[in-house]
Amino acid sequence: MVKKLAIVPILTWGLAALFLCLFDKNLFVQAASRTATLGATITPLPVGTWVVYPNSPTTNNLRSVSLASANEGWAVGDGGVLLHYLNGTWSDATPTNVGDYPQLTWYSISMAGASAGWIVGEYYDSSIHEMRGLLAQYDGITWTMHIGEEVTSNQVPMKPLRSIYMASATEGFTVGLNAEIGHFVDGSWHKEVRDGPNFYTVGGADAQWVWLGGDEGKQFYRDASGDWQGAGVWTVATVNSTSFADRDYGWFTTDGPGVLLYDASVNACPLDCKTQNHVVNGLVGVQLRSVKLVNRLEGWMVGTQGVILHGPNDDPYDKWTVVRQASQDAPTLNSVDMASSREGWIVGDQGVLLRYSLPPEPTATVTISPTPTNTVTPMPTVTATGTPTPTITRTATRTATQTATATLNSTATQTGTPSATETVTATRTVTASPSATATQTATTTPATTATAIPQTATETPTASLTPSVTATLTATPSVTATPTAMIQPTARLFLPLLFREGRIIR
């Protein structure tokens, strides 16, 4: 009795748990989902090592780098120096006429492919005793330098230029001191006059989504109509670089400890409140000079004292990690560009070149199993030609002495389903006493089963049979018998059908 009472609560709780499971299985699904979410881990992106390129072709300060591909790129800097990177090697490609432009400094380069690119900077014009803007265009073979009057639509000089962004080979933007803005379209540069600060950076996601940054943290963006609109001020530091992963996500660097994030998904406020200031820890006294985003989850920043940052991390999504600490003796790193998440270059003062390279991603080998081929073994084909010979089996029981002569004529014609007709003629003579003469006609239809055995024969008419046909031949013979009986009185023949009580049935 005690054992039975102990089992009752266990059964009760078990039935209750089963009822709960059946009643709301979503409770268990939600619990499993929460466990999976809490236990999920995000694999971090691989971080390689930035390696100094030995034997740089120059000791001049390098200001900007732009890659046309992982195997080709260009770098520019002080003194009009121009370096060309091709298949792992940097070489000096400085034009021979740079001496015609005193105090020439290239500040920015932007390649729109292997055969199209622009460089902007400044030089000293002794005729007016001031610095002027200078541009150089690459056509795939030669770099050609132009002063503002030569390339602008209204043939006016350009002020010193600091940054260029080519959205494509046919459209781009450049900015410079004293709110200088140039728009390249239809094969020439068009000056866009407006009041504003000195601009040091221009960038964007495409030709219709372009941002400017300059003194006192001022930022401007180009709207759909082509006008430049203020985007608010979120820092007092100078904005000196920008990079966008797409139209809704971009970062700006400043000459202070902060970096600016533009994230359109932050909230539903107007555009001017979507930019936020973030302070990177450990960057006291460091100025960030350049940023390059590969995508929303990976990018690089560089700055003074040789500092290098990697990020933005996704947890939290806006955090940048210092991967190379600042050092007072390290040269300033001025520009970074990435051909992909696995290949990039940094340039800096004193001709410094740093390469970032990861081994190629393993290529997945897909083995395709051949489709099995079904082999059909044909069934044997039976060819039957001719007239089958029927085999007739009869069972007859007679009490009499009789002589029967049967003539069997069988003709069968078979096309698919054979048929046969049998005619049997029998004559029977019976002698009995007393003398009497009786004539009897009987028609007998015996049940006969005939099985056709195919054989090869040549008959007329010719029978055509379809191969692989099973035929069953059933012959129903029609038998007509006309017996003649001489009945004798002394005969002991039992004829119940002919006599009843000594009378002949007629």
Tens digits of residue pLDDT in 349-405:
999 999 999 877 666 555 555 555 555 455 555 444 444 444 444 444 444 344 434
Measured CA to CA, the distance from residue 124 to residue 103 in angstroms comes to 6
pLDDT of residue 285: 84
Residue 26 has pLDDT above 60, yes or no: no
Interacting residues of 168 by C-beta distance below 8 A, sequence separation 6+: 112, 207
Q: Is the pLDDT of residue 269 over 50?
A: yes
User: Which helix (H) or strand (E) segment is 35 a member of?
Assistant: helix 26-39
Q: What is the mean pLDDT of residues 229-241?
A: 84
Report pLDDT for 281.
72
Nearest CA to 60 out of 80, 78, 83 is that of: 78
Q: What percent of the chain has pLDDT over 70?
A: 59
Q: Where are the domains of the chain?
A: 60-357
Phi, psi for 476 (deg, rounded to 5): -110, 95
CA distance 391 to 413: 16
Burial zone of 182 (CB within 10 Å; 0-12 exposed, 13-18 middle, 19+ buried): buried
Distance, CA of 471 to chain centre: 58
Selected residue with higher pLDDT from 188 and 382: 188
What is the mean pLDDT of the segment spanning 120-145? 95
What would the mean pLDDT of 323-329 be, rounded to a whole number? 90
Asked if 210 and 221 count as a contact pair (C-beta separation under 8 A), the reply is: yes
Q: What is the mean pLDDT of residues 88-95?
A: 97
Lowest model confidence (mean pLDDT) among 13-27, 94-108, 130-144, 363-377: 13-27
In this structure, of 197-211, 273-287, 369-383, 445-459, the range with the lowest mean pLDDT score is: 445-459
pLDDT, averaged across the chain? 72
Q: Select, from the ranges 28-32, 300-304, 449-453, the one with the highest average predicted confidence (pLDDT).
A: 300-304
For 60-357, the fitting CATH number among 3.40.50.720, 3.20.20.70, 2.130.10.10, 2.60.40.420 is: 2.130.10.10
